């Protein structure tokens, strides 16, 4: 298809012909599209190929907003969204009204996010992930894609969608796409437009904290590699101290200790940045900072190895923002 189709009913969507030679890829959004969404759509286009089909959904889902959240003021910019979707390579946009997605009103039967959905974002926003999974399940049924693409920025959401697709046997491949950032490091979000210039300066602490944790991990890992190459470094440190080689002794002690407590060191480095931001004007009000296993979003142990997610959520003014980065903890020897 060369022209972008705008579809607003399930009946029209079901009549949308599939291409014979390529997969259908879906990108689910709540509108207010930005470069992060455009990256998802372009990735979907690449994965589907020219012979495939890319469908973008635009739907502000009331089920995933709490009583005191920003459902009413959430930006709705359909005309601009259509232009971004077209430029990024979408074939169709499905933009239904709420009564089209929930024709009987709020659904009585919903998808439960389970224990993972009660942690971090779920603890702060009770019921949010149940509402999110319910609409994702409905949109997967309605769009019937082969591929569904979601941003890594919403890491807990992505993990829960993967779990739902696995546990409930949805015939779709879930594709995670790395977070897109602005030049100053702030993760792209539709809510960034709420920030004043001063609030934005404070908000930059979220990404700075994550990268500080990443830098600490890299530094500690380098020291650990030296420790593994010099197994007697603690004894060497004591000997150097006796000889008055204080700098060398301190370095040797650091090398010796580098193999332990990596997760705690990462958390501490990130927390230091966030605490400083809490003293700025306006202040950053921290909701959580967590280093978690992406399989279940539980806190990682001090001896953890493998991929983890360093995640943060905070408020600046009246705007709540989230961010995260993946980190790789190597095996201890």
Q: Which residues are known catalytic residues?
A: 37
Q: How far apart are alpha carbons 171 and 225 in whole angstroms?
A: 43
Question: Considering only CA atoms, which of 152, 147, 144, 193 is closest in space to residue 173?
Answer: 147
* Angle between helices 246-257 and 233-242 in degrees, nearest 10: 160
Q: Which residue has the tokens 């390529």?
A: 22
Q: What token pair was written down for 185?
A: 């490091």
Alpha carbon 30 to its chain's center: 15
Q: Which residue has the tokens 């709020």?
A: 106
Q: How far apart are alpha carbons 249 and 269 in whole angstroms?
A: 24
* DSSP code at position 276: H
Alpha carbon 90 to its chain's center: 23
66 pairs with which residues across the strands?
A: none
Q: What token pair was written down for 41?
A: 């759509």
Element (H, E) at 141: helix 128-143
Q: How far apart are alpha carbons 282 and 123 in whole angstroms?
A: 25
């Amino acid at each position: 298809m060369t022209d972008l189709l705008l579809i607003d009913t399930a009946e029209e969507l079901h009549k949308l012909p599939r291409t014979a030679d390529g997969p259908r890829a879906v990108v689910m959004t709540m509108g207010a599209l930005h470069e992060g969404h455009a990256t998802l759509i372009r990735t979907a286009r690449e994965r589907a190929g020219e012979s495939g089909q890319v469908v973008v959904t635009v739907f502000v889902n009331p089920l995933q907003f709490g009583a005191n959240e920003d459902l009413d003021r959430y930006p709705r910019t359909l005309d601009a969204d259509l232009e971004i979707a077209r430029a990024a390579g979408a074939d169709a946009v499905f933009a239904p009204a709420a009564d089209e997605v929930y024709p009987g009103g709020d659904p009585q039967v919903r998808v439960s996010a389970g224990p993972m959905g009660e942690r971090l974002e779920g603890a702060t926003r009770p019921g949010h992930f149940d509402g999110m999974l319910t609409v994702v399940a409905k949109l997967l049924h309605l769009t019937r894609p082969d591929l569904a693409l979601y941003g890594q920025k919403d890491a807990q959401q992505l993990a829960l969608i993967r779990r739902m697709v696995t546990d409930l046997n949805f015939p779709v491949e879930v594709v995670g796409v790395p977070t897109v950032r602005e030049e100053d490091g702030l993760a792209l979000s539709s809510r960034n437009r709420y920030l004043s210039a001063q609030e934005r300066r404070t908000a930059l602490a979220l990404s700075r904290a994550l990268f500080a944790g990443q830098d600490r991990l890299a530094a500690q890992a380098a020291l650990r590699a030296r420790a593994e190459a010099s197994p007697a470094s603690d004894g060497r440190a004591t000997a150097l101290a006796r000889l008055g080689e204080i700098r060398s002794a301190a370095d040797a002690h650091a090398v010796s200790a580098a193999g332990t407590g990596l997760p705690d060191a990462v958390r501490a480095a990130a927390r230091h940045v966030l605490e400083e931001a809490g003293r700025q004007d306006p202040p950053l009000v921290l909701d959580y900072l967590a280093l978690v296993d992406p399989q279940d979003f539980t806190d990682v142990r001090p001896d953890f190895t493998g991929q983890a997610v360093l995640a943060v959520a905070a408020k600046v003014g009246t705007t709540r923002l989230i961010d995260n980065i993946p980190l790789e903890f190597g095996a201890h020897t």
